[in-house]
């Protein structure tokens, strides 16, 4: 954050209809995400967020498969936003986050985590989000047939600081219907739970708990997505000062330094205002690109 808070306040006087300084917001979480989201929004946007009491965010989908997530990651975040507004009708702003984990699309042995933090303003209808892609997400599992293997897996992921979830297993695939244990707290508890599941199913699935309060790596990723949201909030549309003028397009066509042919190298980035469609294009990279990346000079 380059600009100081004082400078930010001075730059955004009372006439700023999109500013959130001094406003209250509602945060939809039951997994402690306020620990990282609230201080950042307070410090950099002046927004005070409080958690909504009695909200069951698990109904929007769980990582442990017993409740499937309806629709996309963004749909799930929007459903949480709606619940946050419903649970706290007096507030102007609601904030929610949603994570998605899976194998990396190019290197399937590596995990890929994508966190989004979404902010919605009921007064202006504005929505601004921040995303963080985590190539070191703590997302892994093991199917074990003895307690020693479960213990080794747990130690490897940093249990008990990092939580683990134990579930029943059918043909090497986790099967929550045949047992799901999310609150394994210590080693003795883990050994007892895994022992019980193996006795019943023949094998147990042990996996990293992806809930934010049980996954320190994920909590850091949510903090970084929040920082991106703050940065995006500060990118204002030149037409009407609406926040969220974010990069929406990367344009290839940088010319080869030797023969001048357009290449696939990115030459510009375009940002678009989600509110009015205003588009700003900006050149990136050097004016001419390396002939090694030119299809004519280096086919």
Q: Can you give the binding site for Zn ion, defined by CB under 5 A?
A: 237, 239, 256, 258-259, 261, 273, 275-276, 278, 291, 294, 296-297
Q: How far is the CB of 276 from Zn ion (least distance, A)?
A: 3
Phi-psi region of 155 (alpha: psi -120 to 50; beta: other; left: phi over 0): alpha
**Nearest-angstrom CA–CA distance, 208 and 198:** 18
Nearer to Zn ion, 136 or 239 (CB): 239
Residue pair 80/28 in contact by the 8 Å Cβ criterion: yes
Q: How far is the CB of 210 from Zn ion (least distance, A)?
A: 36
Q: How far is the CB of 173 from Zn ion (least distance, A)?
A: 48
Phi-psi region of 124 (alpha: psi -120 to 50; beta: other; left: phi over 0): alpha
Number of H helices, E strands in the chain: 6, 15
Local structure of residue 52 (DSSP, 8 states): P
Of the candidates 39, 38, 45, 50, the one whose C-alpha atom is nearest the C-alpha of residue 18 is 45
Task: List CB contacts of 212: < 8 A, sequence separation 6 or more.
Answer: 29, 31, 32, 33, 97, 99, 218, 219, 222
Q: How far is the CB of 285 from Zn ion (least distance, A)?
A: 16
Nearer to Zn ion, 104 or 279 (CB): 279
Residue pair 229/243 in contact by the 8 Å Cβ criterion: no
Q: How far is the CB of 128 from Zn ion (least distance, A)?
A: 13
Q: How far is the CB of 289 from Zn ion (least distance, A)?
A: 9
The residue behind tokens 């102007």 is 92
Residue pair 153/144 in contact by the 8 Å Cβ criterion: yes
Nearer to Zn ion, 102 or 260 (CB): 260
Nearer to Zn ion, 151 or 278 (CB): 278
Nearer to Zn ion, 174 or 275 (CB): 275
Nearer to Zn ion, 53 or 277 (CB): 277
């Amino acid at each position: 954050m380059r600009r100081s808070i004082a400078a930010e306040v001075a730059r955004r006087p009372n006439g700023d209809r999109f500013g959130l300084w001094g406003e209250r917001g509602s945060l939809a979480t039951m997994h402690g995400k306020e620990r990282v989201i609230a201080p950042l929004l307070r410090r950099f946007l002046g927004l005070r967020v409080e958690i909504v009491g009695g909200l069951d965010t698990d109904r929007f989908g769980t990582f442990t498969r017993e409740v499937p997530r309806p629709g996309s990651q963004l749909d799930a975040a929007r459903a949480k936003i709606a619940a946050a507004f419903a649970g706290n009708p007096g507030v102007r702003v609601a904030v929610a986050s949603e994570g998605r984990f899976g194998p990396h699309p190019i290197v399937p042995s590596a995990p890929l985590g994508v966190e989004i933090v979404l902010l919605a303003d009921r007064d202006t209808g504005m929505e601004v989000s921040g995303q963080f892609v985590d190539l070191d997400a703590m997302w892994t599992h093991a199917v074990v047939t003895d307690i020693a293997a479960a213990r080794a897996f747990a130690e490897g992921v940093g249990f008990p600081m990092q939580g683990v979830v134990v579930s029943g297993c059918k043909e090497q695939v986790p099967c929550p219907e045949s047992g799901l244990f999310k609150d394994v707290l210590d080693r003795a508890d883990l050994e007892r739970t895994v022992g019980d599941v193996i006795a019943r199913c023949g094998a147990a699935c042990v996996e990293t708990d992806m809930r934010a309060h049980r996954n320190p790596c994920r909590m850091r990723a949510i903090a970084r997505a929040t920082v991106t949201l703050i940065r995006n909030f500060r990118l204002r549309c030149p037409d009407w000062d609406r926040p969220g003028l974010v990069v929406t397009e990367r344009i290839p066509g940088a010319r080869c330094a030797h023969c001048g042919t357009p290449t696939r190298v990115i030459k510009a980035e375009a940002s678009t205002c989600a509110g009015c469609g205003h588009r700003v294009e900006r050149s990136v990279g050097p004016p001419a690109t390396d002939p090694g990346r030119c299809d004519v000079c280096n086919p």
